[in-house]
Structure 1
Amino acid sequence: MRVTKMHGLGNDYIYLAPAREDEHDWPELSRRVSDRHFGVGSDGLILALPSKVADVRMRIFNADGSEAEMCGNGIRCLVKFAIEEGLVPPDRNEVTVETLAGIKTVAVFRDNGVVTAARVDMGPPSFDPADLPAAVEETGPVIDLPLTIDGVDLRLTLVSMGNPHAIHYVQTDPAEFPLERIGPLVEHHPLFPRRVNFQVVQVLGPGEVRHRVWERGSGITLASGTSASAVAAASRLRGLTGDRIVDHMPGGDLILEWDGTGSVFMTGPAVRVFDAEWYT
């Protein structure tokens, strides 16, 4: 089976364009290829499939085999993959992608004819906790929701970008936060019946933040596009940042834009690492 490894800011996935959607047990394959010792090594598996309502359809499976609604870094790479594999016309400057979080429009940027980056219309954020879902009684926005996890006091801002996010703001470098310990406890907390992505964010100024993320189903990753989009929306909602920010993550920087209404727009790179044959 031919597989392609790609990444956006180190958030890496294995890409396939299967002839039939039912030809494999995708959750099991995702667990196997994602293993960084016995597989290829990745944060998950992404399928490029035909769509009746868009140029291409994306299915994404996390490293634990669970299926996610969307992936911001993954969708940029998916569009690059679709163009380079001939799934969409090679001269397209805009590609629509069907996801479980709705249809997303992706504008591509080229360098010497090669797709190197993309700007994604991530859709509007929702601050209604029912959209995550989260087991809270208020209708939202939910800001500074108190939650104590293993002795650590959190104040969570809840955002849905078609997938669920819980954001905790800190005054110091997020690298100092015990994300390895607290992340999985937040992800699996009963407050979030479908689990949650957990972000730790430091605001550096009105146009700049730094954050780390524990991703639902994958653990700590170097970057997350939907997380960065949620952080941009939450930070502007709280009056901490303006309409445009640079989000510094361990894997690199994303540019986020949200004017307080409508869609969040995310811009970042897309890199093809290698193609290989999967035998096991």
Structure 2
Amino acid sequence: MHGLGNDFVVIDARALAFPPMTPAVARALADRRTGIGCDQLVLLEPSAAPEAGHAFRMRIFNSDGSEVEACGNAARAVALLHGEAAVIETGGGPITLEPLDGGARVDMGTPRFDWDAIPLDVPMDTAAMPVGWDSLESPMAVNVGNPHVIFFVDDADAVPLESIGPVIEHDPLFPQRINVNVASLAGPDHLRLRVWERGAGLTRACGTGACASAVAAIRRGLVASPVRVSLPGGDLVIAWEPGGTIQMSGPAKASFRGSFDWDDFA
């Protein structure tokens, strides 16, 4: 499945017994030359808290095998697959899915701004961090289920994100690494965005990156909600009011269904 070209292998283990997922198996399945190939592997499992009304659990593994807390594009794909509104568990907390025609709306929860919620290695103001890398300076940090740092620039396309992205991702300031966003203002309710995704690299789209960047831009007074966020793969619409939850709407599609022999990748 994919959301704006950010693609996933989705394994539905809600009703079938699967061996435990490991970083090595996730890497092997995600390999585009010798595996199935994807940006992220998504594993659906039975809920650990069905008494709380959670329909099931979604786990996300980046192509490098690392497990992450949240993925907005994957959430829309899973909503389409599930076919009805539901509250599901993620590593970043419960989220609400609602399938729409050709896509989904996802309530991504409340953004967090405290330095230790990102987390950062040292205390600092996350609204205008007193740090910089080359020409990228004074970013904002937001946790939207996973951690993001957002730089507002004149032209997002002009930033050499493929070289500076991994440097920032692995900076000791971010003990759990970081997703790197460069955003430019395209209108009073419109952002252009490129994302270096933690553990996956440059992606055509990043749903949590769109959420984090829209929240940061609203918080800085650059745009008004709802915000259209244009990524290389297409557009998402993000709505947020201070104190509230983030609403993300956008497309998702199924590419194909198939099967594989687990032993080939274990």
Judge same fold: TM > 0.5, yes or no.
Answer: yes
Q: Cα deviation per residue 1:132-187 (whole Å; 9 max; x = unaligned)? A: 1012323x4x23323343x4442210101121000011012x12110000000110
Q: Which residue identity lines up with residue 163 of structure 1 in the other structure?
A: N
Q: Cα deviation per residue 1:73-122 (whole Å; 9 max; x = unaligned)? A: 00111122233xxxxxxxx3x11111111111111113xxxxx2111101
Q: Which residue identity lines up with residue 258 of structure 1 in the other structure?
A: W
Do the aligned residues in 2 keep the contact of 1:243 with 1:260 (CA within 8 Å)? no
Q: Which residue identity lines up with residue 43 of structure 1 in the other structure?
A: D
Which residue number corresponds to residue 145 of structure 2? 162
Which residue number corresponds to residue 7 of structure 1? 2
Q: Is 1:74 paired with 2:74?
A: yes
Q: Secondary structure at the match of 2:97?
A: strand
Are residues 251 and 204 of structure 1, via their aligned partners in 2, closer, same or farther at CA, if it must alter by over 3 Å?
Answer: same
Do the aligned residues in 1 keep the contact of 2:79 with 2:98 (CA within 8 Å)? no
Do the aligned residues in 1 keep the contact of 2:136 with 2:151 (CA within 8 Å)? no
Q: Which residue identity lines up with residue 119 of structure 1 in the other structure?
A: R
Query: So what's the TM-score if we normalise by structure 2?
Result: 0.92
Q: Cα deviation per residue 1:226-265 (whole Å; 9 max; x = unaligned)? A: 1111111100000001121100000100000012221010
Q: Secondary structure at the match of 1:236?
A: helix
Q: Is 1:46 paired with 2:42?
A: yes
Query: So what's the TM-score if we normalise by structure 1?
Result: 0.88
Q: CA RMSD in A?
A: 1.4
Q: Is 1:98 paired with 2:89?
A: yes
Q: Which residue identity lines up with residue 171 of structure 1 in the other structure?
A: D
Q: Which residue identity lines up with residue 139 of structure 2 in the other structure?
A: L
Structure with the higher strand share, 1 or 2: 1
Q: Cα deviation per residue 1:171-219 (whole Å; 9 max; x = unaligned)? A: 12x1211000000011000000000000000011221000000111111
Residue segments in structure 1 that go unaligned for 5+ positions in a row:
1-5, 84-91, 111-115
Q: Give the total of aligned pairs.
A: 256
The Cα of 1:20 is off from its aligned counterpart by: 2.9
Which residue number corresponds to residue 98 of structure 2? 107
Deviates more, 1:216-225 or 1:31-40: 31-40
Which residue number corresponds to residue 112 of structure 2? 126
Q: How does 1:147-186 map to 2 (within 5 A)?
A: 147-149=131-133, 151-172=134-155, 174-186=156-168
Q: How does 1:1-280 map to 2 (within 5 A)?
A: 6-18=1-13, 19-20=16-17, 23-51=19-47, 52=50, 53=52, 54-83=54-83, 92=84, 94-110=85-101, 116-138=102-124, 140=125, 142-149=126-133, 151-172=134-155, 174-279=156-261, 280=264
**In structure 2, distance between residues paired with 1:193 and 1:145:** 16
**In structure 1, distance between residues paired with 2:17 and 2:175:** 32
**In structure 1, distance between residues paired with 2:82 and 2:26:** 19
Q: Which residue identity lines up with residue 164 of structure 1 in the other structure?
A: P
Residue segments in structure 2 that go unaligned for 5+ positions in a row:
none
Q: Which residue identity lines up with residue 118 of structure 1 in the other structure?
A: A
Q: Cα deviation per residue 1:6-49 (whole Å; 9 max; x = unaligned)? A: 0000110101113235x044322221121122222210210111
